[in-house]
Chain A
Amino acid sequence: MSDLPQSDNQAMNRAEPVIEIDNLGVHFALDEGALKAVDGVSFAIEERQMFGLIGESGCGKTVTAQSLMRLVPKPGRIVQGQINYHREQGGLIDLANVDPAGAEIRDIRGNEIAMIFQEPMSSLSPIHSIGNQLMEAVLLHVANSKREAYKIALEMLDLVGIPNPAQRMEEYPHHFSGGMRQRVMIAMALSCRPRLLIADEPTTALDVTVQAQILDLIAQAQTQFHMAVLYITHDLGIIAEICDEVAVMYLGRIVERGSVRDIFHNPLHPYTRRLLAATPRIGQHAERLQVIDGTVPIPIGLPHACGFCSRCPEMIAGTCDTALPALVELEENHFVRCFLHDERKEEAV
C-alpha cells in the first residue's frame, strides 16, 4: 500500500465542490441561555480535497462535523444556514433542511458521507466480533448478500493493513490495539466508498508511529477513491502535513481560511498567529513558549463583537468590542475576520 502515489491536489484545483456550507448556525438550548456552538460558518470542500479544521477545545469543530451528518445531540439544533451537498448521482440537497431521522439522510450517512471518531473503542460494540460489525456496515450500504459482505469486509481489512484478516474477523475489539481498532473504523468508513470522509481527531489517542500509519492510510484511500476529507484536529503539525485548505475556528466562527501555505506562512488573524507561536517546534530552542492569555469563553450571551477581543493583545478598544468584523477575502482565497485588516462589519441579525 505504502508505495501508491501521494495525493497532489494542487493539480486538481478546478474540481467541483462536494459540499458547500453557508452561514451555518447551531445552538444548544440550555437553562442559562442559547449556547452558540456554531455561529455563521461558511466553507466548501471540493472533490479530492483535504480540508482541515483547527482551533482550541470548545470552538465548535465537532458540532460542525455533527451537523453535516445531522447527528447534533439534543438540545442542539441547526438554527440557520444551508448545507448543500452535491449527490453522487447528481442533484443538490440541503442537508440542513432534511429530517434528521428521515430516509434521505440515512441514505447519505455512512454511505456517501462517512465519519471516524476520536475513540474507536466507544464506537465499536464490545460484544460483537469485528467481522460481524464490519459486515453489518457493508450490508447496510453496499452489499446484497452475506457472502458479498464477507468478501468486501475481508478486502477492507486487508486494505487497511490488518494481517491475517480472515482470522481477525472472528476476534473482538478488546483483542485489538488502539491503532488496529482505529484501522477497523477506517475500514468500516471506507467500505461504502464515501465521497466525503469526516475524520474528527482520529489519531489523538494514538502513538506517533501509529498515527503515521493512519495518516498514510487516509491519504492512500483519498487518492484511490477520489474522496474529499474534512480533517479535524488541534495538532497543527498534522494539518501542515496533509491538508490543502484550512479553516481556523474560534468561538463558533471561522476567523481565518485559506490554503495551507497562507495559514502557515502568512497567517493574518491574531488568533492564528498566536496558535502557531504557542506550538513547540523541534530545534527552536526557545526557553519559553508564547501563550495566549485567558481562556476560551463559553458562547452564551456574548456581545455582538469579535470573539477573540477578551484575549487579543492587539484589540482596538471601542471597535473590536463593539462590532463583529466580517470574514473578508483579503487576498485570493485568503479570508480573515479582523478589524486590523479590514473595517467591514457583520451586522447582527
Chain B
Amino acid sequence: MTAAPVLKVEGLKKYFPVEKGFLRRVVGQVKAVDDVSLTIGAGETLGLVGESGSGKTTIGRCILRALDPTAGSIQFQIDDELTVDMASISKRELRELRRYANMIFQDPYYSLDPRWTILDIVGEPLRLSKLADGAELEDRVASLMDVVGLEAKHLRRYPHAFSGGQRQRIGVARALATNPRLIIADEPVSALDVSTQAQILNLLNDLQSEFGLSYLFIAHDLSVVEHISDRVAVMYVGKLVEVAPKDQLFFFPKHPYTEALLSAVPTPDPDVAKKRIILPGEIANPADPPSGCYFHPRCQYAQDRCREEEPALREIVPGQWASCHFAEELELVGAPQ
C-alpha cells in the first residue's frame, strides 16, 4: 500500500428524482448516495457492505461514470503523472480513460451477452479503447484466458457452454483486458457455490499480487468481505457509517449498525454461542429518511439526541471512522474470535 491513493472520492452525492403520475412530475428525491468520501490505495482492497438499497452499486457506477454524480469529486490516479477528476471530465475524455477502471458484475449468467463468443466478450474493451484488433487482439484474449485459468481453445464458444464459475472467470478476464488499475467488483461471488467462490476469491487475490490492482469489493457476505479486504466501509441509507481496517471493524466495531450486521453473520461452528441482534422494522426509505441519525428507529442505543441531531463521520481511534454520537462510550460486540 503506497501513500498516494489510486482513488480519492470526496463528498460524492447521487440523487435520483422520484416521479409521480402521468406527467412524471418530480415529487422528491432518492438520496441514493449522500456525501460519501473514501480512498483506495494502490494494491488495496476496500470492502463495501450494507443493506440492499443502501447505495453500494450506485457508488461503483458513479466512480466509473456509468452514472453522472450529483455532486462531489472522484480523483483517480491514472499514473504517476496524471490524476483526473472522473466526476467532471467530458464524455470524450471519459472514452479514453475508461480502460483504467473496470467492473465485474454479480451474475455470471446475465452479465455476458449469449450471442457473443468469448473472444468477442473479452476482446470488446480492447476494441473500444482501440488497444488491439485482429490477430493481436486474439493473442491478447488468449493470454487473458490463461491468466484466469481457462483454456484458450474455448475462444469461439458461447457463454452457455460454461459453468457459473467459468463464466465469472470470463467476466474477470474482460475486466482485466485493458490493464486497469482499479476494479470494481459488485457482488462477484454472490451467485456462486462455496467451492467456486473460493476459486474466484483466490484468483482475485493472485491477480492483485501480480498486477498491483486496487479493488472496491462490494458484497453482502461479511465472511467473504473479511477474507478479501484490507479495509471495510459500511453503508446505511446512502451514507458511510463506519470505515476501518478490517480487524478493527470486525472485532472492535464502533457503530451500532456494524455491530448488528456482525451479530447476524452465521458462524460455521455449532459451538459458538452468539446473540443475534434482530433489528426491528425495515431499512429506512432513502426518499424519506428519518430525522437525526438515520439508524435511530432501529438502534437499541438510541437516545433523544439521536432523533434530532445527525452524527458526523468522525475518526474515533486512528484509522477508524464512525458516525455515532456515542461511539466512544458504547461497548459494542464484534465478531466471535
Residue numbers of A with Cβ under 8 A of B are 2, 56-57, 163, 177-180, 206-213, 215-216, 234-241, 260-261, 264-265, 274-276, 278-284, 286-292, 295
Contacts and interface: CB of A to CB of B under 8 A. Distances in A.
A107 to B, nearest CB: 35
Interface of B: 51-52, 163-165, 193-199, 201-202, 205, 220-224, 226-227, 250-251, 260-261, 263-272, 274, 276-279, 281-283, 335-337
Of the listed residues B264, B271, B337, the one surrounded by the most CB atoms of chain A closer than 10 A to its CB is B264
Contacts of A265: 270-271
Contact of A288 (B165, B202, B271): B202
A280 B221 CA distance: 10
B265 A208 contact: yes
Given A163-B281, A282-B223, A288-B205, A237 B197 contact: no
B224 A212 contact: no
B179 to A, nearest CB: 24
What 9 A-B pairs come out closest when comparing CB atoms? A237-B266, A289-B198, A212-B264, A280-B227, A292-B195, A278-B198, A208-B264, A236-B268, A280-B223
B52 A282 contact: no
25 contacts: A57-B164, A177-B52, A180-B282, A208-B221, A209-B279, A210-B51, A216-B276, A238-B266, A240-B270, A241-B270, A264-B268, A264-B269, A264-B270, A275-B195, A278-B195, A279-B268, A281-B223, A282-B222, A282-B226, A282-B336, A283-B226, A283-B335, A283-B336, A288-B205, A295-B196
B270 A209 contact: no
Nearest to B50: A207
Contacts of A276: 268
B88 to A, nearest CB: 34
A280 B197 CA distance: 10
A240 B222 contact: no
Contacts of A292: 195, 198
A163 B298 CA distance: 14
A295 B163 contact: yes
A237 B267 CA distance: 5
A211 to B, nearest CB: 7
Contacts of A288: 202, 205
Given A211-B264, A264-B269, A283-B251, A179 B282 contact: yes
Contacts of B199: 291
B263 A241 contact: no
B335 A282 contact: yes
B43 to A, nearest CB: 14
Contacts of A275: 194-195
Nearest to B257: A209
Contacts of A240: 266-270, 272
Contacts, number: 127
B52 A207 contact: yes
Given A215-B276, A283-B226, 13 more contacts: A57-B193, A209-B51, A211-B264, A212-B278, A236-B194, A236-B268, A240-B272, A241-B270, A275-B195, A278-B197, A288-B205, A295-B163, A295-B196
Given A177-B282, A275-B194, A260 B270 contact: yes
Contacts of B193: 56-57, 234
B223 to A, nearest CB: 4
Contacts of A239: 268
A56 B196 CA distance: 9
B194 A216 contact: no
A163 B279 CA distance: 14
A212 B223 contact: no
B33 to A, nearest CB: 18
Given A212-B278, A216-B278, A241 B267 contact: yes
A236 B251 CA distance: 21
A283 B337 CA distance: 6
A281 B197 CA distance: 13
A280 B270 contact: no
Nearest to A233: B266
A259 B165 CA distance: 31
Given A212-B278, A274-B195, A282 B265 contact: yes
Contacts of A289: 198, 201-202, 227
Nearest to B199: A291
Contacts of A237: 223, 265-268
Contacts of B227: 280, 284, 286, 289
Contacts of B221: 208
Contacts of A284: 227
B318 to A, nearest CB: 21
Contact of B195 (A209, A261, A283, A291): A291
Contacts of B278: 2, 212-213, 216
A288 B51 CA distance: 27
A210 B283 CA distance: 10
A206 B193 CA distance: 16
Contacts of B283: 177, 207
A190 to B, nearest CB: 18
A325 to B, nearest CB: 21
